[in-house]
Amino acid sequence: MKIQLALDRMAIKEAISITKLVQDSVDWIEVGTSLIKEFGKNSISEIKRSFPNKMVVADIKTIDNAIYEFEMCFNAGADVATVMGVSPIVTIQACLQVAEKWNKKVMIDLLNTSDDQLATLSQFKSAIFCHHVSKDQQELDSSEKSGVRVFTDATPTIAVAGGITLQSIRDLASIRPSVIIIGSAITKANNPTQAAYEFKKTIIELEGQVNE
Amino acid sequence: MKIQLALDRMAIKEAISITKLVQDSVDWIEVGTSLIKEFGKNSISEIKRSFPNKMVVADIKTIDNAIYEFEMCFNAGADVATVMGVSPIVTIQACLQVAEKWNKKVMIDLLNTSDDQLATLSQFKSAIFCHHVSKDQQELDSSEKSGVRVFTDATPTIAVAGGITLQSIRDLASIRPSVIIIGSAITKANNPTQAAYEFKKTIIELEGQVNE
């Protein structure tokens, strides 16, 4: 299980400073949608330039204009870019084609996808599927929810996102996600370095249990 | 019927130059998603600063993080901002609340919404509903399609978008959209000033026929 550090709602400089504090404990770095929409593609290129050896995920949340947006992300140095599962299928196919050309990856964000859409999407074996409880669902909706849904098909590469804490990460271990996306539980912690280290330690411990 | 000029896939300077050429024939100016994702919120503020007396639409295509994104757009000078109809309902409600606070408008982009979603969305009477054939559906999908769908409820304020030309605009007149969104048919024309003028003239002519 890899840790993807999600950087959101901050300036690019702050994002780089925080990442420097925690880089030893995280695997992938996500340039959050809020950074891209606030500062543009420079947010991607500056973070990749600062951490050239990390996988950088551009959370561009494409829902149209796939070729233009994915070319932009990969040109800026992203290794993975995201497309919404609720997009027209032609958009998702175009993202996959651009990623294949660049030998990079597509993460499909399953936010608010229907069961029918999920079934259709499962044909895209090369994608990473991100089960996602959105920020608004976490912050503005008091009902209980879980981002994790079961594929009827063979298990693809899975990422999980949305308000993940040291407590909730233990419940996620059973579904064996490849990528665990953590944002404010690290970036807003009093001691981000320590918080990231605790996540890393917990994941190593959980992986040991799963492999036993 | 107002003309909303959609500015996409170009630099901010180019967007401002083209808009100067056509500003007498267009009513609203849309800062396209591609400008926002490429250059950030500056694309909104620079275009509003250049055209302070025009309604500026930020095509931010929010699908999460509604308060942050809508506050950002309105702070940057947008008069209207867009949210995807396929978003969780809590996201759309948050957009409407931010817009109400600012006394500004929400445009709900109906791209790929299901009939059930459309029915639910029709409760939001203050929104502008944008029937939308996406760029990818226009450019990458050869099947015939129309962005226009009928509301079962009372007719709300409607916008239409997606590859609209001087020919297709005549077919749209019968549904009486409040806003007609035109992009490349003006911005990529050999003579944008003339193209915008032809659209304006056609709309005035069509409005005359509708009112007869």
Q: Which residues pair with A83 in a beta bridge?
A: A62, A108
Are B137 and B105 in contact by the 8 Å Cβ rule? The answer is: no
Considering only CB atoms, which chain A residues are within 8 Å of B91?
134, 136, 140
Residues in A whose CB is inside 8 Å of some CB of B read 8-9, 33-34, 36-43, 60-61, 63-66, 68-69, 72, 84, 86-88, 90-91, 93-94, 111-112, 114, 134-137, 140-141
| A160: enclosing H helix or E strand | strand A157-161
B104: confidence class by pLDDT, cuts 50, 70, 90: very high
- Express each pLDDT in A62-81 by its tens digit: 999 999 999 999 999 999 99
**Distance from the first to the final alpha carbon of chain A:** 15
Average pLDDT over residues B5-24: 98
Q: Is B153 a residue whose pLDDT tops 70?
A: no
Answer whether A88 sits within 8 Å of B114, measured CB to CB. no
Considering only CB atoms, which chain A residues are within 8 Å of B87?
112, 136
What pLDDT was estimated at residue A105? 98
In this structure, what is the dihedral angle of CA atoms A181, A182, A187, A189, given to the nearest 10 degrees?
A: -170
Q: What phi and psi, each to the nearest 5 degrees, are found at residue A125?
A: -65, -25
What Å distances lie between residue A95 and A62, A92, B60, B174, CA to CA?
9, 5, 20, 36
What pLDDT was estimated at residue A153? 54
Instruction: List chain A residues with pLDDT less than 50.
Output: none
What pLDDT was estimated at residue B52? 98
Tell me the CB-side half-sphere exposure of residue B32, using CA atoms within 13 A: 28
Classify residue A175 by its DSSP letter.
G
Nearest to B40 among A39, A63, A84 (CB): A39
Tokens for B28, please give them.
């609203």
A146 or B29: which leads in pLDDT:
B29
CB neighbour class for B62 (10 Å; exposed up to 12, middle 13-18, buried from 19): buried
Considering only CB atoms, which chain B residues are within 8 Å of A116?
none
- DSSP characters for B119-175? HHHTT-TTSEEEEE--HHHHHH--S--------SSS--EEEEESS--TTHHHHHGGG
What pLDDT was estimated at residue A170? 86
ipTM: 0.96
What pLDDT was estimated at residue B61? 98
Which residue from A1, A2, A16 is spatially nearest to A187, judged by alpha carbons? A16
B172: confidence class by pLDDT, cuts 50, 70, 90: confident
Answer whether A65 sits within 8 Å of B136, measured CB to CB. yes
At A6, is the secondary structure helix, strand, or coil?
A: strand
Which residue from B170, B161, B167, B191 is spatially nearest to B3, judged by alpha carbons? B161
What Å distances lie between residue A48 and A71, A80, A197, CA to CA?
15, 12, 22
Answer whether B88 sits within 8 Å of A41, measured CB to CB. no
Which residue from B39, B45, B35 is spatially nearest to A44, judged by alpha carbons? B39
Interface test with B, best of A64, A87, A139, A142 (most B CBs within 10 A): A64
CA pair distance B211, B198, nearest whole angstrom = 20
Q: How far is B43 from chain A (nearest CA, A)?
A: 9
Are B44 and B76 in contact by the 8 Å Cβ rule? The answer is: yes
Nearest to B136 among A60, A90, A136 (CB): A90
Longest CA–CA separation in chain A, Å: 46
Q: How far is B50 from chain A (nearest CA, A)?
A: 19
Query: Could you tell me which chain A residue has the CA closest to the CA of B45?
Result: A38
Q: How far is B90 from chain A (nearest CA, A)?
A: 7
Percent of chain B scoring above 90 in pLDDT = 82
∠ CA A125-A3-A189, nearest 5°, is 145
Residue with tokens 């561009």: A60
CA pair distance B67, B62, nearest whole angstrom = 10
Which residue from A102, A100, A70, A71 is spatially nearest to A87, judged by alpha carbons? A70
Tokens for A2, please give them.
């890899």
What pLDDT was estimated at residue B173? 79
